[in-house]
Amino acid sequence: MNMKKFAGKVIFIFLLATVLAAAAWAGPKPAAPTTSKMSTPILSCGTVSPTWINILVCAGTTGAPAGFSLHWLKLADFTGVWPDSETMCHGSFSGNANNSAYNLGANQCTSVQVGDNLFDDPGASSNCADLPLECGTDYVFRGFAHANSTFKRSDFTGNLVCRTADCVVVGGCTLTQGYWKTHNDTVCLLNPASPLCVAWPAASLTLGNVSYTQAELLAIFGTTPAGGNGLVSLAHQLIAAKLNVANGADDSSVASTIAAADALIGNLVVPSVGSGFLSAGSTSALTNALDSYNTGLTGPGHCDD
């Protein structure tokens, strides 16, 4: 045999053996990414007030680690086919933020309060975040679990109908922060004929030890509680409570809460007027108590706005 040809065959066989050995050591190829969907969450109605509904969201066997979304509109406006996103309310509840309440494990549940308080939820974003629900009204909801790197988003849930609490007014009545934010004197300057043109019962308010003009109070209403700043959420509810009291609502059930909120705020200046900060943990009890008063769960009851 020709020695050159023989040497070439030997080299070829050696190289082939080397390649095959390397492939064997590399182990099996990684599995292709799955195209499975998140399991569909389950929605149910929770507690209600005249202006909000708690929706209980329970994840399925895959969980909902990236969070979930909800859609809602008044049942009277629902034709059986969900409209596009511009003509209905929708909210996204992200599970990706640190310590998010919306990062759900398998079969884990959480509660979402749908109403104008969504504006104050750091984990939520919604095109209806400033809008309270209407009292004594049926709403229809649906939702889905968000996709992540492993699973596609889930199918939509079935439609769920929940009803807000009835409109009950005893004596003076209360309105939510969303109402006072959108109904004010500034609208009157631009369009006196607008239904949102409402004169506030007070030209200025004191929060803690600091006085604010209506323009400054509206700026505070327009500020979201970034970074878990509980001072902002507390201020939103405190402004609404003080406007309700100035508007004639009985304050016997909330006077001590208002005083405690003012004492906690003290000399802090609320964003975006200032840069004051309080942890959400230190303000949540007072914020919730004021929210209950403004939405009619306590006190004289919510107005039929």
d(CA 223, CA 220): 5
Does some domain include residue 147? yes
Q: Are residue 46 and residue 159 in the same domain, yes or no?
A: yes
| One-character DSSP codes across 216-277 | HHHHHHT---GGGBHHHHHHHHHHHHHHHHHTT---TTTHHHHHHHHHHHTT---TTTS---
> Beta 138-145 vs 67-74: how paired, if at all?
antiparallel
Q: pLDDT digits over 78-104, tens only?
A: 999 999 888 899 999 998 876 678 999
Q: What is the pLDDT at residue 31?
A: 47
Question: Which distant-in-sequence residues (6+ apart) come within 8 Å of 203 by Cβ?
Answer: 213, 214
Q: pLDDT digits over 209-258, tens only?
A: 999 999 999 999 999 998 889 999 999 999 999 999 999 999 999 999 99
How does the average pLDDT of the chain come out, rounded? 88
Residue 63 has pLDDT above 80, yes or no: yes
> What range does the domain containing 188 cover?
177-295
Q: Are residue 287 and residue 229 in the same domain, yes or no?
A: yes
Residue 13 has pLDDT above 50, yes or no: yes
Does some domain include residue 22? no
Q: How far is CA 219 from CA 148, 230, 271, in A?
A: 36, 16, 8
Q: Are residue 202 and residue 154 in the same domain, yes or no?
A: no
Does some domain include residue 24? no
- The last residue of one of the domains, among 163, 198, 221, is 163
Q: Are residue 286 and residue 190 in the same domain, yes or no?
A: yes
More confident residue, 121 or 177: 177
We report the CATH number of the domain holding residue 57 as 2.60.40.10
Q: Are residue 136 and residue 190 in the same domain, yes or no?
A: no
Handedness of CA 300, 111, 157, 147 (dihedral sign): positive
Q: How many domains does the structure of the chain reveal?
A: 2
Does some domain include residue 20? no
Does some domain include residue 225? yes
Helix or strand run (H / E) with residue 174: none
Tell me the whole-structure pTM to 2 decimals.
Answer: 0.74
Q: What is the pLDDT at residue 81?
A: 95
Q: Are residue 271 and residue 190 in the same domain, yes or no?
A: yes
Confidence of residue 8 (pLDDT cuts 50, 70, 90): low
Does some domain include residue 300? no
- The last residue of one of the domains, among 130, 163, 196, is 163
